[in-house]
Amino acid sequence: MAELLLYTSLFLIWFMLFYHMFLMQGGYLHFLKHPETKRKWDLEPGELPTFSILIPAHNEEVVIEKTLQAMTELDYPKEKLEVILINDNSSDATGKIGEEFAREFPFIKVLHTKPPHAGKGKSGALNQGFKVSSGEIIAVYDADNLPEPEAAYNLALGLNKDEKAGAVVGKFRVLNARKNILTRMINVETLTFQWLAQAGRWFWFKMCTIPGTNFAIRRSILEELGGWDEKALSEDTELSFRVYNLGYYIRFFPEAVTWEQEPENLKVWWKQRTRWARGNEYVIAKYLIGFFKLKNKKIGLDLAYFLFTYLLFFGGILISHAIFVTNIFVDLNLTIGTVSYVLLITGFLLFVTEVLLALSMEKGQLTMKNAAVVVLMYFTYSQLWVILVMYATFLEAKRMIFRQEVKWYKTQRFQQNKPEENITGPVLVPDPPSSEPDTKPRPVLVTRKKKMKERKIK
Amino acid sequence: MSFGKKLRRNIGSFFLGYILIISLIMELPEASAIEHTDSNASVLVVYSSEKNEIDFEQRVLDMALGHFSEDIAYINTSELSEKDLAGVTHLFYYGLMEEKIPEKAAEIITLFDGPTVAIGKNVENLGKKFDFIEMGEEETITEINILNETNKKRIIEPNTILGIDINKEAEVLVEGKGKTGTYPFITQLHDSYYIASDKLIPPYSVYFSQILNQVFNAETSKETPAYLRLEDVHPLADAEGLMEIAEYLKEKNIPYMIAAIPVYTHPETGREYHFHDAPEVLKALQYMQENGGSVILHGYTHQFREDETGEGFEFWDVEHDMPVYHGPDEEPRDKKESDFEKEADYLAYQEENIQYETEYVRNRLTRGVQELTNYGLYPLAFEAPHYTMSQNGYKVVSEHFSTYVGQLQLSDEDWETMESTPYAGKPSILHGMTLLPETIGYVQPDDSNAVEKMMEKAEEHQITEGGMIGGFYHPYLGIDGLKEVVQEMENIPNIDWIDLKELGTEVNVENVSIKGKNGSIQVEVDQIGLMTTSKDFPVYHIKQLIEKVTWGIAGIGGSAVIMFIGYTIFQRPRRRFLTGRVK
């Protein structure tokens, strides 16, 4: 019996690891390929569409000023740009700060929502914002995001040049990666997620998941879909599924970069990630039940992926952990032998090499320090995920059984150490090496800016 | 056209005929050193005994006769009638206890026209044929010798023989020597032979068997058949040690036997270990089977109740010294006839017991063969754990195996009454099975002269020309002891290592049929039948597959690791190259 469970868990885990291997391979190939795509498209970007950016904000006074500042620095024709701050029932200065910007910059608008149409979470706020927006393209940024100046242009470019893309997803980077060990790990995690899961799936299947920020979607699609699902805790995953279902794909375009804050303590991380996990489980349940009604069966791939990740993969890990621990105390008469150790080590090496490969794709990320973080992550951060998914599954199961109302948890933001220096946003060094002054501009960004100007002149 | 066709057809039939002839030649009984059974000999043994049924001593005789005849019948002196002699070619009288031989019986014996052998007591009443013998006092001898043959003299422990005086015409074939003189042990006059002892066990057995060649007019073999058996190989055996032995015997090109026990029962935990729990041991056994070794089934668990495998008895309840007529946790079913008022009730009780035992033995044999077969190990013979089994037990074995290896328990009353015999043969008590007797014992772990003792016995058994030299070795003792035994055995003149795969041995249980022939093993398995017999059988194969798949997974995972490391390392020069290009 123990043997059967062990092999079942091994196969579940390795099925997943093989899929990850495959995705990582795709991610790497996309990494090699995408600069060329970008280069070609830049030669003929086409007529830029009108572009509405929605920023849902609920009590975001700590970060919103910098975010709006970054919006003002976007390299996008201002007459075609619209930034809508949805001040969703905030009780702090979020609205006030927004109004100040709106007065100065005509393309920034503030939408104040009040109950009963407010405080219903991100989906509700986005739907409100969408109603008042006018752009052909709707982009979403979280209230803590600092998009690079070229981000909006790149998102628009993706949709302009690729008719079949219903949405374009950019890349996000971690603003506070060097803050502490947790943010370092999150940084590693986000990079791996984007190059493995996003880029990999895009390369092989022309699919990727809308991450909730730094993405743009065609207005026509949103209208057809009737906006965001207000019941979904992870409205982004849910929206992705519906976009696929219309027959569009979602393009991963890593040229569009935004910088965002990540939780700086475990408590915030735990709450945020629980929400994501529960949200994804909600989506699995919703689409699994209605799978045969779906038009685009390719969603099955992603659905299966989520199903595997959240239930089977974690189930497999739990069983194998349980067997491992039990076997220390009780002889389970396992005959598996050498191969189990080989698998254990191979699994670990696979994790490390995949993550290091992902890190190597971002300049300056493949460092000894980060390598040590990766090894440490395997034993800490990754294991924490296991517990988290268990917890989320428990909550989600409870909710479904007792038909509880979902409650949105808004991720707590953190005041960055030197806000006055960072306020100018990502044109300055967003991820400053501690030894260097924060104000030193990044050569890469400068080059980009120059290139951008040249393009405009043309 | 038609000519061509015809020619082809002719060639075809020519080939067909050719193949037929070839296969006929192949079908001929193989000339083997161990088989000397004269299928025409028909033996009748007339015996005297307390009980009106054959027992230990008759069975010892039976084992000896089995080399010369497949047709051996037994009759009590009091029941002998003329018609019992119909078709009989060789007549034996075995006088175990003193009795007054009925005149009619003596008359029948006298009238029998063929070789007649009298053993032990009562010879003075056997009639004219044995007139040449006159009984005297019992004597003690310490030396024994075959006259007219060289190198057959042996010093023995003091043993008694029946003192006799013989007629001058009679010839002494074997002579004993004591302190007070020489005494005839085996004598002959014309077709009548007399053996002056009612014991046919060692040291007399080898002389008796040798003289039987004369009685049956059999040609003896120049070769000395021999075998070596690796004993008690169970799932917890030392795989490395086994492999070492396998390599050694392979290099020596010596065929051998492996007495395999499919299940090891741990005496403390009660946990059962099968060969699938010990893949390394299994691999070693498979290797052995492919390189000279022949697997023989040595019980299924080699234990009963909570005994340890290899230590316990499987087909004998040794605690109550009785056959297994009951489950391990049940009250022993050991009632005597006197416990019953009516004989019919006792017979019914005994019938039930026999039936229980029959099922018990059959199930274990069947399961044992099936389980080994499922692992790709094909047993070609059987050896009872500690040789112990009731006579009914051997009968059940004979329904599934054509060959038995080892000693035989010769009484249903007491497990210790076991014996061997010098020659291979087909004794009637084995119901058609060929017995490959074990004659030289084994290397006892704590005896520094163990090998010497074995070789003494080997020498003794060469008194019987073409007699079997069979011994065994426990692999856990290490390879050095084995090497010693092998080297010593190789010194035996004209040694001929017997190979079960050459003997035409057969094993048949439900869904499995195995033949050892022409040096290879032929197996017929009803796979569906076998797989549906027990879930353990398919599970083993599924596990094998899973293990292979698991290694495959590890392989693919490992390649990906190498690939990703390659990409990562390549990243830096690539970036440098690209930056260079931008400049």
Give the tens place of pLDDT for each residue, B516-533: 999 999 999 999 999 999
Give the tens place of pLDDT for each residue, B309-323: 888 999 999 999 999
Give A195 to chain B, closest Cα distance, Å: 13
Mean pLDDT of B141-145: 95
Give the tens place of pLDDT for each residue, A105-141: 999 999 888 777 666 778 888 888 999 999 899 999 9
Whether the pLDDT of residue B431 is over 90: the answer is: yes
pLDDT, position B134: 92
Minimum CA–CA partner of A4 in chain B: B543
Minimum CA–CA partner of A26 in chain B: B564
User: In A, which residues are within 8 Å of B544 by CB distance?
Assistant: none
pLDDT, position A423: 31
Give dist(CA B296, CA B382) in Å, integer. 5
Whether the pLDDT of residue B361 is over 90: the answer is: yes
pLDDT-based confidence at residue B39 (cuts at 50, 70, 90): low
User: In B, which residues are within 8 Å of A25 by CB distance?
Assistant: 560, 563
Whether the pLDDT of residue A189 is over 50: the answer is: yes
Give A351 to chain B, closest Cα distance, Å: 9
Whether the pLDDT of residue A444 is over 50: the answer is: no
Which of B550, B556, B569 would best serve as a mutation to test chain A binding (most A beta carbons within 10 A)?
B550
User: In A, which residues are within 8 Å of B565 by CB distance?
Assistant: 353
- Chain A contact for B575 (CB, 8 A cutoff): yes
| φ/ψ (deg, to 5) at A357 | -65, -45
Give B233 to chain A, closest Cα distance, Å: 20
Give A131 to chain B, closest Cα distance, Å: 45
State the count of interchain CB pairs (< 8 A) between A and B.
70
Cβ contact B561–A339 (<8 Å): no
Cβ contact B276–A335 (<8 Å): yes
Whether the pLDDT of residue B63 is over 70: the answer is: yes
Cβ contact A363–B575 (<8 Å): yes
Give the tens place of pLDDT for each residue, B481-512: 999 999 999 999 999 999 999 999 999 999 99
Give the tens place of pLDDT for each residue, B530-539: 999 999 999 9
Residue A360 is nearest to which of B547, B560, B568, comparing CB atoms? B568
Cβ contact A339–B567 (<8 Å): no
Residue A360 is nearest to which of B546, B561, B571, comparing CB atoms? B571
Give dist(CA B423, CA B224) in Å, integer. 10
Residue B564 is nearest to which of A343, A353, A363, comparing CB atoms? A353
pLDDT-based confidence at residue A314 (cuts at 50, 70, 90): confident
Residue type (1 letter), B220:
T
Q: For residue B55, which of B407, B398, B409 has the smallest C-alpha distance?
A: B409
- Chain A contact for B545 (CB, 8 A cutoff): no
pLDDT, position B579: 66
Cβ contact A337–B279 (<8 Å): yes
Minimum CA–CA partner of A347 in chain B: B557
Q: Name the more confident of A67 and B14.
A: A67
Give the tens place of pLDDT for each residue, B376-393: 999 999 999 999 999 999
Give the tens place of pLDDT for each residue, A23-75: 999 999 999 988 888 889 988 888 889 999 999 988 888 889 999 999 999 98
Residue B567 is nearest to which of A3, A343, A357, comparing CB atoms? A357
Cα(first)–Cα(last) distance of chain B, in Å? 85
Which of A4, A15, A21 would best serve as a mutation to test chain B binding (most B beta carbons within 10 A)?
A21
B42-215 CATH:
3.40.50.880
Query: What single string gives the DSSP state of each residue in B248-293?
Result: HHHHHT--EEEEE-SEEE-TTT--EEEGGG-HHHHHHHHHHHHTTE
- Chain A contact for B551 (CB, 8 A cutoff): yes
Whether the pLDDT of residue A369 is over 80: the answer is: yes
Give A353 to chain B, closest Cα distance, Å: 6
pLDDT, position B254: 97
Boundaries of every domain in chain B: 42-215, 224-533
Give the tens place of pLDDT for each residue, B547-570: 899 899 999 999 999 999 999 988
Whether the pLDDT of residue B6 is over 90: the answer is: no
Give A432 to chain B, closest Cα distance, Å: 22
Lowest mean pLDDT across A35-44, A210-219, A337-346, B452-461: A337-346
Residue B550 is nearest to which of A24, A343, A353, comparing CB atoms? A343
User: In A, which residues are within 8 Å of B575 by CB distance?
Assistant: 363
Give A448 to chain B, closest Cα distance, Å: 13
Whether the pLDDT of residue B80 is over 80: the answer is: yes
Give A182 to chain B, closest Cα distance, Å: 24
Minimum CA–CA partner of B568 in chain A: A357
pLDDT, position B389: 95
pLDDT, position B156: 94
pLDDT, position B19: 42
User: In B, which residues are within 8 Å of A349 by CB distance?
Assistant: 557-558, 561
Whether the pLDDT of residue B210 is over 70: the answer is: yes
Lowest mean pLDDT across A443-447, B114-118, B327-331: A443-447
B224-533 CATH:
3.20.20.370
Please state, rounded to an integer, the average pLDDT across all residues of chain A. Answer: 81
Instruction: Quote the percentage of chain B above a pLDDT of 90.
Output: 80
- Chain A contact for B271 (CB, 8 A cutoff): yes
pLDDT, position B583: 42
Cβ contact A349–B550 (<8 Å): no
Mean pLDDT of B68-81: 93
Q: Name the more confident of B200 and A428.
A: B200
Q: Name the more confident of A434 and B3.
A: B3
Mean pLDDT of A235-253: 85
Mean pLDDT of A86-113: 89
User: In B, which residues are within 8 Å of A34 by CB distance?
Assistant: none
pLDDT, position A418: 42
pLDDT, position B13: 44
User: In B, which residues are within 8 Å of A356 by CB distance?
Assistant: 564, 568
pLDDT-based confidence at residue B28 (cuts at 50, 70, 90): very low
Mean pLDDT of A78-104: 89
- Chain A contact for B552 (CB, 8 A cutoff): no
Instruction: Quote the percentage of chain B above a pLDDT of 70.
Output: 92
pLDDT-based confidence at residue B34 (cuts at 50, 70, 90): low
User: In A, which residues are within 8 Å of B280 by CB distance?
Assistant: none
Whether the pLDDT of residue B200 is over 60: the answer is: yes
pLDDT-based confidence at residue A406 (cuts at 50, 70, 90): low
Give the CA-trace dihedral at B152, B153, B157, B162, to 10 degrees: 90
pLDDT-based confidence at residue A447 (cuts at 50, 70, 90): very low
The residue behind tokens 């026990």 is B261
pLDDT-based confidence at residue B411 (cuts at 50, 70, 90): very high
Whether the pLDDT of residue B46 is over 90: the answer is: yes
Whether the pLDDT of residue B421 is over 90: the answer is: yes
pLDDT-based confidence at residue A226 (cuts at 50, 70, 90): confident
Cβ contact A14–B560 (<8 Å): no
Lowest mean pLDDT across A96-110, A381-395, A431-445: A431-445
pLDDT-based confidence at residue B194 (cuts at 50, 70, 90): very high
Burial class (CB in 10 A: 0-12, 13-18, 19+), A11: middle
Cβ contact A357–B547 (<8 Å): no
Q: How far is CA B251 from the centre of its chain?
A: 26
Cβ contact B561–A366 (<8 Å): no
Full 3-state SS string of chain A = CHHHHHHHHHHHHHHHHHHHHHHHHHHHHHHHHHHHHHHHHHHCCCCCCCEEEEEEECCCCCCHHHHHHHHHCCCCCHHHEEEEEEEECCCCCHHHHHHHHHHHCCCEEEEEECCCCCCCCHHHHHHHHHHHCCCCEEEECCCCCEECCCHHHHHHHHHHHCCCEEEEEEEEEECCCCCCHHHHHHHHHHHHHHHHHHHHHHHHHCCCCCCCCCEEEEHHHHHHHCCCCCCCCCHHHHHHHHHHHCCCEEEEEEEEEEEECCCCCHHHHHHHHHHHHHHHHHHHHHHHHCHHHCCCCCHHHHHHHHHHHHHHHHHHHHHHHHHHHHHHHCCCCCCCCHHHHHHHHHHHHHHHHHHHHHHHCCCCCCCHHHHHHHHHHHHCHHHHHHHHHHHHHHHHHHHHHHCCCCCCCCCCCCCCCCHHHHCCHHHCCCCCCCCCCCCCCCHHHHHHHHHHHHHHHC
Give dist(CA B150, CA B145) in Å, integer. 9
Q: Name the more confident of A444 and B259.
A: B259
Instruction: Quote the percentage of chain A above a pLDDT of 90.
Output: 26
User: In B, which residues are within 8 Å of A18 by CB distance?
Assistant: 553, 556-557
Mean pLDDT of A446-450: 33
Whether the pLDDT of residue A322 is over 80: the answer is: yes
Q: Name the more confident of B71 and A232.
A: B71
User: In B, which residues are within 8 Å of A343 by CB distance?
Assistant: 550, 553-554, 557
Give A252 to chain B, closest Cα distance, Å: 21
- Chain A contact for B283 (CB, 8 A cutoff): no
List the structure tokens of A403: 């038909």
Boundaries of every domain in chain A: 1-49+136-416, 419-448
- Chain A contact for B102 (CB, 8 A cutoff): no
Give the tens place of pLDDT for each residue, A293-304: 777 777 777 787
pLDDT-based confidence at residue A276 (cuts at 50, 70, 90): confident
Please state, rounded to an integer, the average pLDDT across all residues of chain B. Answer: 90
pLDDT, position A163: 87
Give the CA-trace dihedral at B116, B117, B120, B124, to 10 degrees: 30
Lowest mean pLDDT across A2-6, A10-14, B226-230: A2-6
Give B535 to chain A, closest Cα distance, Å: 13
Whether the pLDDT of residue A281 is over 70: the answer is: yes
Give the tens place of pLDDT for each residue, B269-308: 888 999 998 999 999 999 999 999 999 999 999 999 888 8
- Chain A contact for B563 (CB, 8 A cutoff): yes
Give A69 to chain B, closest Cα distance, Å: 31
pLDDT, position B38: 59
Cβ contact B546–A7 (<8 Å): yes
Residue B554 is nearest to which of A335, A346, A356, comparing CB atoms? A346
Cβ contact A354–B564 (<8 Å): yes
Whether the pLDDT of residue B114 is over 70: the answer is: yes
Minimum CA–CA partner of B551 in chain A: A339
Lowest mean pLDDT across A263-277, A312-326, B70-84, B347-361: A312-326
Whether the pLDDT of residue A83 is over 60: the answer is: yes
- Chain A contact for B518 (CB, 8 A cutoff): no
